[in-house]
């Protein structure tokens, strides 16, 4: 059968496929089970396939690309306007098939297996950091009920937990002492896992800093103030070469760092930042710029003129977000790729 465009609605077990002919007629719109999807597309001539971008879509896109199809991933929020009345898999697949043909549609780059592997390391680290924070808060609250206070700071909490595990007596009832010792042991274990994921294990098989040394793009991104190894490797893994961004402003808008535009009738109204898109990357960049704000306040003689002047007229949090927006524009993916290409050409053989 001759199919020009197909829309694939992914799910756990039942996938819906909607196909149209070059003339615009609907050829099929039917469900397929997971094992049947690849064999179905093997029988089709190479065509344009649209898929909503989320976790498992990159794996499916790589498999269909190897079959010769032109696979394009789209953000679900951009597909939503093409959904007709009602909600079903058939309607969603038809909307995906229509959205992929729009000339103004924005697409997502298909991530490679190496990118997904590095992103899995970041996601595991983020999960363990959140668990560590929850455990620290629980430990503080339980000890506060007995009048025991822990000094602020991660290093002091870890030092306290190590002392409890090694046998420090807090003067608590035996049941409470055992509970605190158990939580302290868990906290020390989680902290060691975070350190391993950041620096690498004994065999140096994993670790964000180790992966950062292997990638020239990450090393180039680390030359920008506030972009440490964790942030630089997350950017390289999330956007790859960045062909979906034409300039730095699009990258900053994708991170949700640009103000919300609610203009109408010739009146320009700009609100707060949108906070749309890559939340994890935005969080890493804001944390890095917050550290840079503290350094600027502590040592103004070492800081550049722009952050110093910005802090004189804006609050610290507003200044940190403004510096994050500027850093995101400096981190413009096409510009980084061009600089990397020049560095490779200039490198002596």
In the chain, what are the domain boundaries? 5-99, 113-199, 215-346
Percent of the chain surpassing pLDDT 70: 91
Residue range 225-237: average pLDDT? Answer: 81
Coil/strand/helix, residue 315 = coil
Length reported for the chain: 349
Residue range 232-245: average pLDDT? Answer: 79
Q: What angle do CA 205, 210, 212 make, to 5 degrees?
A: 135
Task: Give the gyration radius of the chain's Cα atoms.
Answer: 25
What is the reported pLDDT for 120? 87
Q: 134, 186 in Cβ contact below 8 A?
A: no
Q: Phi/psi class of residue 200: alpha, beta or left (left: φ > 0; alpha: ψ in -120 to 50)?
A: left
- pLDDT reading at 268 higher than 60: yes
End-to-end alpha-carbon separation of the chain, Å? Answer: 52
Nearest residue to 343 (alpha-carbon basis) of 217, 247, 159: 217
What is the reported pLDDT for 202? 45
Over the stretch 151-177, which tens digit does the pLDDT of each residue have?
Answer: 889 999 999 999 999 988 888 999 999
What is the C-alpha separation between 62 and 273, in angstroms, rounded? 34
What is the DSSP code string of 81-128?
Answer: GG--SS--HHHHHHHHHHHTT-TT---BPPPPHHHHHHHHHHHHHHHH
What is the reported pLDDT for 253? 87
What is the C-alpha separation between 203 and 139, in angstroms, rounded? 33
What is the reported pLDDT for 345? 41
Over the stretch 128-158, which tens digit does the pLDDT of each residue have?
Answer: 999 999 999 999 999 999 999 998 899 999 9
What is the C-alpha separation between 36 and 67, in angstroms, rounded? 14
CATH class, domain 5-99, is alpha beta
- Residue where the block lists tokens 């700009």: 270
């Amino acid at each position: 059968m001759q199919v020009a465009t197909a829309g694939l609605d992914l799910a756990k077990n039942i996938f819906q496929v909607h196909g149209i002919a070059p003339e615009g007629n609907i050829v099929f719109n039917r469900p397929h089970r997971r094992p049947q999807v690849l064999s179905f597309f093997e029988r089709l001539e190479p065509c344009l396939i649209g898929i909503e971008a989320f976790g498992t879509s990159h794996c499916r896109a790589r498999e269909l690309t190897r079959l010769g199809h032109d696979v394009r991933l789209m953000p679900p929020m951009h597909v939503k306007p093409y959904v007709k009345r009602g909600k079903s898999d058939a309607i969603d697949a038809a909307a995906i098939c229509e959205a992929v043909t729009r000339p103004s549609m924005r697409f997502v780059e298909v991530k490679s297996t190496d990118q997904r592997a590095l992103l899995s390391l970041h996601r595991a680290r983020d999960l363990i950091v959140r668990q560590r924070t929850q455990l620290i808060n629980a430990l503080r609250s339980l000890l506060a009920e007995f009048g025991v206070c822990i000094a602020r700071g991660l290093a002091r909490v870890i030092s306290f937990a190590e002392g409890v595990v090694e046998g420090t007596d807090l003067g608590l009832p035996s049941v409470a002492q055992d509970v605190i010792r158990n939580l302290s042991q868990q906290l020390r274990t989680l902290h060691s896992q975070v350190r391993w994921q950041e620096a690498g294990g004994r065999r140096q098989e994993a670790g964000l800093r180790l992966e950062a040394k292997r990638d020239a793009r990450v090393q180039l991104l680390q030359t920008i103030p506030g972009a440490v190894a964790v942030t630089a490797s997350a950017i390289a893994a999330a956007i790859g070469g960045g062909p979906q961004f034409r300039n730095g402003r699009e990258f900053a808008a994708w991170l949700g760092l640009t103000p919300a535009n609610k203009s109408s009738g010739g009146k320009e109204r700009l609100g707060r930042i949108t906070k749309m898109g890559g939340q994890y990357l935005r969080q890493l960049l804001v944390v890095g710029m917050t550290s840079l704000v503290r350094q600027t306040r502590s040592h103004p003689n070492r800081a550049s003129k722009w952050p110093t002047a910005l802090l004189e007229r804006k609050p610290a949090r507003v200044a940190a977000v403004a510096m994050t927006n500027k850093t995101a524009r400096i981190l413009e993916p096409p510009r980084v790729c061009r600089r990397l290409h020049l560095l490779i050409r200039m490198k002596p053989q």
